[in-house]
Amino acid sequence: MPILDFAHATDAVSAVLDGIRDDQLADPTPCPDCTVADLLQHVSGLAAAFTYAARKAPVPAGGSQATFDASLLSPGWRTEIPAALAGLAEAWADPVAYDGLTMAGPIEMPADIAALVALDEVVVHGWDLARAAGLPYDPDQAAVLACLGFATSFTPPPDAGAGPFGPPVPVPDSAPALDRLAGATGRDPGWAPSRL
């Protein structure tokens, strides 16, 4: 598997974070039952978890968790999350990161699949946050296509219900790749916040 370029994707998400206002933290997002602050905490935790996964290093005791819990969001998130995303991109720039098996949270998986999961999380949640805050979002097209290929090829086990993304939302094949990725991950590409 070729090395994935995380840097453009993480930079695009960091640009979105820079535009989120404090009065938007409690607003809903396209990610079901998640506020902006819930998603920010999740992005913070997943950036740390998948950085450890790339390095094949254990998560330290008390390390950041990729939950969806606004109460765990650090007051310093505006600087901490972009730094964590930059660290994630740097970790997955190392070809060795893609070798063998690694732990993604409590799940062991091939490292190259963990890379795709991590990139998908970054790109899709960046879209969630941009939509929720009414901000422009321009992730790298190659990253979007890699995530779309992953999301559309994923078949959950029979006992996993709708799988990790929820039921897909039908989107025309002619739609932009980012809209198709949103639909493949259970989101309505036309979602808009009730207020801005």
What's 76's domain CATH number? 1.20.120.450
The domain total for the chain is 1
Cβ contact 68:100 at 8 Å: no
pLDDT in tens, 53-65: 999 998 776 666 6
State how far the Cα of 119 lies from the Cα of 54, in Å rounded to an integer: 12
Q: What mean pLDDT comes out for the span 115-123? A: 96
Q: Quick one: pLDDT at residue 33?
A: 87
pTM (predicted TM-score): 0.92
- Is 181 contained in some domain? no
State how far the Cα of 146 lies from the Cα of 137, in Å rounded to an integer: 17
Domain range spanning residue 83? 6-155
pLDDT in tens, 78-94: 999 999 999 999 999 99
